[in-house]
Structure 1
Amino acid sequence: MTGMRTREPGEVFGPRMTLFADTLSVGLATALVCLPVVTIPAALSTACAVLRGAGEGQPATAGRYLAVLRQRLRPGDLAAGAVALLGALLFLADLALAGAGLPGAPAFAVVAAAIGTAALVVGLRSCARPESLTNWPAAVREASRDALQDIGGSALVLLAVATAALCSWMLVPLAFLVPGPLALALTAVDVRQGAEFR
């Protein structure tokens, strides 16, 4: 991130460690806001916006996160969360049906997994788009375009999700800190993609 200050004399940690600490505090705030489940897209989108602002010299703190979140929670954000929740439930139901031993279940499971993975990538990339703060349909359209044009970035998103899941599985209390690094990874992929393709 450009514009970061250098370490002052006598300062123990440099600016990168400060960003890491801010990312963890934003992650904790995001995890708390995600608890109602339908607020997950808005919470993650806000985290990405706050962390994107860190590259522009704005503070990336939990206080700023809550201030941005208060300004933007609206019915469209809750509708996006409801759609994401219904999609996840439908995906789990499809996989449960595939595991029930129906004819053609293995092929169906592969197709369902591919569709679910694509939906996850587009959904997460939508949260990282600046348009998600005001217009979810535009964010989804742009994220779909990004996912097709930037296959490497989509692979990085999946790697970030796998890392977050692994960290949460290995040490359950880390699950409350994982949204911050995940949001930072999503934001970095979007900034990287913007620098290369836009």
Structure 2
Amino acid sequence: MSGTPAREAGEVFGPRMTLFADVLSVGLATAVACLPLVTVPAALSTACAVLRGAGQDRPVTAGRYFALLRRRSRAGDLVAGCLALTGVLLFAADLALAGAGLPGAPLFAVAAAVIGVCAVVVGLRACGRPEALTDWRAAVRGAGRDAVTDLGGSGLVLLAVATAALCAWMLVPLAFLAPGPLALALTAVDVRRSAAVLLQ
């Protein structure tokens, strides 16, 4: 294939395989950073920022990931993490109540599921935006707008989440690598949207 970059001297794999390995290392670093749970939004948005740098010839390494994450000790990151964790707990409690056989439970479960899916799409798209590094409000506003105007991208986000969940369910150790490909998918969806806006 003409256009495919040649291997460097001493390079065992081609550049695409190197990016794949980098995505897995960033995914493992993200999984470790997500362990306190309230750090999930900051950890995932940092992974997206590091992977976005691959298109600008910046190194995609776990070391760069942790260096960027250390610089992000903002109160807004903890607030975003607490809100995300509270939302997940409320969603689980709502589904448990719906499963308890309350009147109107099936309709309530469907409504809760729709709201939960919309919240997941907006939250993940916010993590994929560059603004998430400095301003969560702007990132969430932009993600909400994109979720409505770019339905194809929202579908891709849901497909990426379903794939990551399926991989983790099939083989539990893959759960520690899943954040890398998920962050790559979120970044690709945002880059795709940005490119479409520029072409208009």
Say whether the fold is shared (TM-score over 0.5): yes
What corresponds to 1:136 in structure 2? 136
Equivalence for 2:63: 63
RMSD: 1.4
| Structure 1 residue aligned with 2:186 | 186
Give the 5 Å matches for 1:81-160: 81-160=81-160
CA distance in 1, matches of 2:83, 2:5: 41
What SS does the corresponding residue of 1:55 show, helix, strand or coil?
Answer: helix
The AA in structure 2 aligned to 1:63 is: G
Whether the 8 Å contact between 1:42 and 1:73 is mirrored in structure 2 is: no
* Deviation (angstroms), 1:150: 0.5
2-structure distance, mates of 1:157, 1:179: 13
- TM-score normalized with structure 1 length: 0.96
For residues 88-136 of structure 1, the C-alpha deviation after alignment (integer angstroms, 9 at most, x for no partner) is 1011111111111111110111010000000000000000000000000
2:95 aligned partner, one-letter code:
L
Moved more, 37-46 or 188-197: 188-197
- Give the deviation of 1:197 after TM superposition: 2.4
Q: For 1:33 and 1:62, how far apart are their aligned partners in 2?
A: 11
TM-score, normalised to structure 2, is 0.95
Task: Name stretches of at least 5 consecutive residues in structure 2 with no aligned partner.
Answer: none
Q: Distance in 1 between matches of 2:14 and 2:40?
A: 31
Does residue 35 of structure 1 match 2:32? no
Between the aligned partners of 2:73 and 2:19, the Cα distance in structure 1 is 25
Give the letter aligned to residue 147 of structure 1. A
| Number of the residue aligned with 1:175 | 175
Asked if 2 retains the 8 angstrom alpha-carbon contact of 1:128 and 1:190, the reply is: yes
SS at match of 1:72: coil
Query: Mind listing any 5+ residue stretches in structure 1 that lack a counterpart?
Result: none
| In 1, Cα distance between equivalents of 2:186 and 2:146 | 12
Measure how far apart 1:193 and its partner are: 1.0
In structure 1, give the amino acid aligned to 2:173: P
Alignment of 1:19-34 (within 5 A): 19-34=19-34
1:19-63: per-residue Cα shift (whole Å, max 9, x none)? Answer: 000000000000000000000000000000000001100000000
